[in-house]
Structure 1
C-alpha cells in the first residue's frame, strides 16, 4: 500500500517539472489532472481486489491523491497558511486511511489501532501548527534584526553631510528595502 503513495509522488514530480516553463495556472491544472489520473489508475488496480483489501487499497489511493492535490495547491498559493492547511488536510486524509486499515481488526487490537491513528493525527496537526508558529517567530525576529541594522546604517550616515550623506542614506534604504 505504501507503494501507491510512492507511485503517486513519482507522478507529480515529473508533472511539475514538465510544466515549469508554462504559466502557473496551467501547471497547477496539469498537476491536478495528473493526480486525478493517478488516483483513477490506482483505484482500477484496487478493483481487482475484494473485501477489506479493496477498501484499504482505495483508502491508500485516496490519501495519496489528497497529498498530491494539497501539496500542489499549497505550492500554487505559496503562503505559510496554505502550507499549514495542506499539512493538516494531508494528516486528516491519512487518518482516514489508517481508520480503514483498523477496520480489518477486531476487539482490543482494533481499539488500539484506532487510538494510535487518532494520536498520529493529533501529533501531525500539532506539529503543523507549531512549525507555523516557529516560522512566524523567525520571520518576525528577522524583521526586527533588519530594522536594527537599518537604524545603525542610518546612524553611520550621520557622520557625513550634504550629497554624501544623501547618497549614504539612499544606499542604506536600498540595502534594507526601505
Structure 2
C-alpha cells in the first residue's frame, strides 16, 4: 500500500472520529448514540488497517486506537463538561499522539530511532504538563470568584506550583532528547555534546 493511500485512510479515520464527539451539554440519548458511533467507527478503521502489513499496519492501528480513545474522552467532556473531564481529554490526545509517533519511529534504526522515541516522549511530556497547568489555572480562576482570600491564595499557589513542575518536566524531557543525540558521536565530540546539553538544561 502506498503512502498516499495510507494518508488518505488515516485522514478519513481522523475526520470520522472527530465528528460528533464535541457536543456540549448533550442528552443521555445523544451520549449513548455517540458511544455507539465511536465504536462503529473504530471497527471500520480497524478493518481498514487489517488490509495493511508490517509497520504501516502498526501505525494505522495506533491511529485507530488513539482516535477512539480521544473521541471517547471528548465525548465525556461534552457530556459532563468539567475541568477534570477536559484535562482527561487533553491527556488522551497526548497519549494517542505518543503511541502513533512511537510506532513511526520503528521505521528508523540505531540512534535515529532512539532520538525519535525520545522526541516523541518529550512531546507527550510537554502536552501533559500543559494540560495540567491549564487545569490548575482554571481551578485558580474559579477560586478567584470565592469569597475567602484563603481559598484564592491556595488555588493560586497550586497553579504556580503546576507551572513550575511543568517547566521542570519539559526541561528534563528536552535534556533526554539532547543527550540521546550525543550518542551519534564518540570521544571528545561526544563529551563536548554532553557538556553542552548539560549547560543548556542546567544539569
TM-score by length of 2: 0.61
1:11 pairs with 16, 27, 34, which one?
16
Structure 2 runs not aligned, ≥5 long: 1-5, 149-203
Say yes or no: does 1:130 pair with 2:133: yes
Say yes or no: does 1:141 pair with 2:144: yes
CA distance in 2, matches of 1:4, 1:134: 38
Runs of 4+ in 1 over 6 A off after TM superposition: none
2:64 pairs with 61, 81, 89, which one?
61
Q: Give 3-state SS (helix, strand or coil) of 1:142's partner.
A: coil
Say yes or no: does 1:27 pair with 2:30: yes
Alignment of 1:69-88 (within 5 A): 69-88=72-91
CA distance in 2, matches of 1:116, 1:32: 33
Size of the aligned set, in residue pairs, is 143
Say yes or no: does 1:119 pair with 2:122: yes
Which residue in 2 is equivalent to 1:50?
53
CA distance in 1, matches of 2:7, 2:133: 27
CA distance in 1, matches of 2:8, 2:145: 41
Using the TM superposition, give the Cα deviation of residue 79 of structure 1 relative to its aligned residue in structure 2, in angstroms. 0.8
CA distance in 1, matches of 2:130, 2:136: 10
Which one has a bigger Cα radius of gyration?
A: 1
Which residue in 1 is equivalent to 2:192?
none
Distance 1:118 1:2, change over 3 A: farther
Deviations 1:62-105 (Å, cap 9, x if unpaired)?
A: 11111111100122121111111221122112212211111221
TM-score by length of 1: 0.69
CA RMSD of aligned residues (A): 2.8
Using the TM superposition, give the Cα deviation of residue 57 of structure 1 relative to its aligned residue in structure 2, in angstroms. 0.8
